[in-house]
Each structure stands twice: as structure tokens, then as C-alpha cells.
Amino acid sequence: MAQPEDSTDRHVARWRGHWVLETAPYDDTVEAITTRIGAIMRHLREHKKRAATEAGLQDFEYDTLHALMIRDTPGTSSPTALAADLGISPAGMSGRLEGMEKAGFIQRTTDATDRRRLGVEATPAGIEIWREVMARRGQEEDEMLGVLSAHERETLSTLLKRVTLHIEGERNR
């Protein structure tokens, strides 16, 4: 039962001492949750980056392929829609697609009925390398969450869902 400390415990303990917000009282548990979520994300992000690099992709190339593959229409999109999904500017998208087309990961196709529109398609080579990275990420996620029992994972997922429902609901109000 006596859990050892994680870095967040140390952070919060230090924090409580010299930072008390006058306006809102400082809540250890809230701070601990957000800090731990941050730590987990950082871990996953770094692992993703490593997996991508080892598969021969730059981080942003993998991100682009990934955004392309997880759409409702997997492997097909438009530059504008992709940019929106990725949270980058259309200008940045042009640059990425240029390089990735040259590298053979994606292909730009022209739309027959509207010549302003482009299509972006993942090539077989792109899909293959993306799958490679995905497999590694899946393994890492399983490994990471393997410390929890199936039941605990359900609990965790449900609690997180309450939070995401809340923030997604906010946006539509």
C-alpha cells in the first residue's frame, strides 16, 4: 500500500510550499492529475518520435501520414482538411506535402470536377512504413498500461471520458 513517490509527488510537495494562489486555493490532486497526464504524454510523444525516426520518418512526416490514415476515408484527404486535423497552417501543409511526395510517402492527385481542389493519398510505401510505426506504438501503449488490470483500465478510461465529454461539450455551447 505504501506507494513510493513519483516525480509528480515531489513536484507537488515542493510547489505547495512556495506557491499559493490568492484567488483560487491550490489543489494538490488537480495539480497532480494534470502533471501526471503531462508526464505520460511526454513519454508517449518521445516514444513515437523515436519509433518514427527508427522507421526512417521524420516526426512530422509520421504525423502527417497518421492524420491521413485515421480519417473516415483512410489514406485520402485534401491539403486543407489535413492541415486542420494537424493544427498547422495551409502554408506549412504545402511544404510538408512537397517533401513527402518527393520521398514517395504520399501523392497529390487532381480533382476532375473542381480544379482548385487537390487530393492527398498515402502511397503503399507510406502506408507500410506508417503501419510499422503504429505497431511499435501499440506495443508501447500496451506495455505502459499493462501495469493496470483490465478492470482498472476500464475505470481509468471511464473517468477520462467524463473529462473529455466535459471539454468537448463546452466547445459546442
Distance between CA atoms of 107 and 130, rounded to whole angstroms?
15
Of 39, 41, 44, 87, nearest to 64 by C-alpha is: 87
Distance between CA atoms of 161 and 163, rounded to whole angstroms?
5
From residue 93 to residue 132, the character string flagging contacts with a copy of itself as x (rule: CB under 8 A) and all else as - is: --------------------------------------x-
- What's the min distance (Å) between Cβ of 117 and a copy of itself? 24
- What's the min distance (Å) between Cβ of 42 and a copy of itself? 8
Answer with the entry of a copy of itself, DNA, none that 37 interacts with (C-beta below 5 to 8 A by kind): a copy of itself
Distance between CA atoms of 135 and 148, rounded to whole angstroms?
21
Distance between CA atoms of 136 and 77, rounded to whole angstroms?
25
User: What number of other Cβ atoms are within 10 A of residue 165's Cβ?
Assistant: 10
User: What number of other Cβ atoms are within 10 A of residue 85's Cβ?
Assistant: 16
From residue 42 to residue 71, the character string flagging contacts with a copy of itself as x (rule: CB under 8 A) and all else as - is: -xx-------------------------x-
Q: Is 155 in the site for a copy of itself (CB under 8 A)?
A: yes
- What's the min distance (Å) between Cβ of 130 and DNA? 17
Give the interface with DNA as residue ranges (CB under 7 A): 58, 60, 78-81, 87-99, 108, 113-118
